[in-house]
Structure 1
Amino acid sequence: MRRIYIVEDDPKIRDILTDYLQKYDYDIASVNDFDQIQEEFQDYQPHLVLLDINLPRFDGFYWCRKIRAVSNCPIIFISARDSGMDQVMAIENGADDYITKPFQLEVVLAKIKSLMRRVYGEYRTDKNSQVIDVSGLQLDNSTFTLSFQDKQCLLTKKECLLAKAFLTQVEKIVSREYLLERLWDDQDFVDDNTLSVNITRVRKKLADLGIEGALKTIRGAGYKLEKVWERSS
């Protein structure tokens, strides 16, 4: 079931969108804390975001940039601000589409379906070149999606880079130095502790897919991804 995260401070509009989209088998979550939108996004891992511009404290443009820093998932702005400049700013900050209020629910649904098909479905471009497949465990670099059998989860940008490093060198030891030097540049320095946190998150994502114990720590050497899912199938 595709997940949609609604960032809207008008409870009436949130409820209308939630009730309508749930009828079409979407799993819906709405913002709870307007200071923790990025954290809520990463916890929920939605396939698409509906985002208002006028929000408490920081506006939608700010949160669009924050989400884009960790994910390529589709973002649709829904706002009463109908100027051309607002729409330009939305696109420049990373949005995929823009809907003005008042809106027709059918139009919102049509745009959601279109983006879902384009990003995750049959209309996805460069599908084969963006996907790494190792014995059924697939990483889609274009959507930061990791999938196995009938399950899938969204990754952050850093998690996707780690997963790519391990899947392209499966059954080989990947050193911590390689990960630190190759996956993070000098402008975005990451220490050993931050790397460890991201490794833990990748392990959790694999576990969410039903793959336990695949990412091994090799003491004094680094990490190794073992194809335990292939041996147990």
Structure 2
Amino acid sequence: MSPQPSLDQLRFNMIEQQIRPWDVLDPQVLDLLSVMRREEFVPAAHRALAFADMMVPLRGTPEEAMRLGQVMLEPKMEARLLQELDPKPHEKVLEVGTGSGYMAALLAGRAQRVISLEIEPDLVRLARGNLQKAGVHNVDVREADGAHGLPAEGPFDGIVLSGSVAEVPSALLQQLKVGGRLVAIVGEDPVMRATLITRTGDASYTTAQRWDTLAPRLLHFPEPSRFKF
């Protein structure tokens, strides 16, 4: 029998076989992925999935986790969202949807300060514990409904929505600094697109749609009304 690959080998394979082929080529992002221990942010019951190219449920059954958006996104998705946002060492970033805390940890590896909002109390506790064990001290995880952002702490250099929304609320965009960026997965199943919005002036924004994908909904964001004829 051949020996089981080590965690470091599995992490290397994840980066080289999943993430790099998905156009994640920023050396700072790849270096961060190699040192941030993803397996320590995955629930014990699913630890074997830590490096798999799939969403990992955080609570309950996989079906419940998907319905409630309580999942870790695929490693390549997290990596590419981080690359799109491109946080700088002096910047303050807001994340909506903390989950296990892994994306917040990645953001914290690039930014000066991260505030991450999570609506589910059990996940708040999970993320805080994971970040503490990982020695990540520049993330503030707060129990809050992130659909309205955090205007009292804004403006932000970057905002990440760690899940999908039908549309990005203007209230969130207004919490960006001029020059600030927001990344989100926007649209309706079966067509969602990773989207980068940059604030270019007091009332002006540019929008770039980067790639097609799917992700569970974040809770309490507005949904378009569906008319029935």
Asked which structure has the greater CA Rg, the reply is: 1
TM-score, with structure 2 as normaliser: 0.29
**Greater RCO, CA 8 A, separation 6+:** 2
| More strand per residue | 2
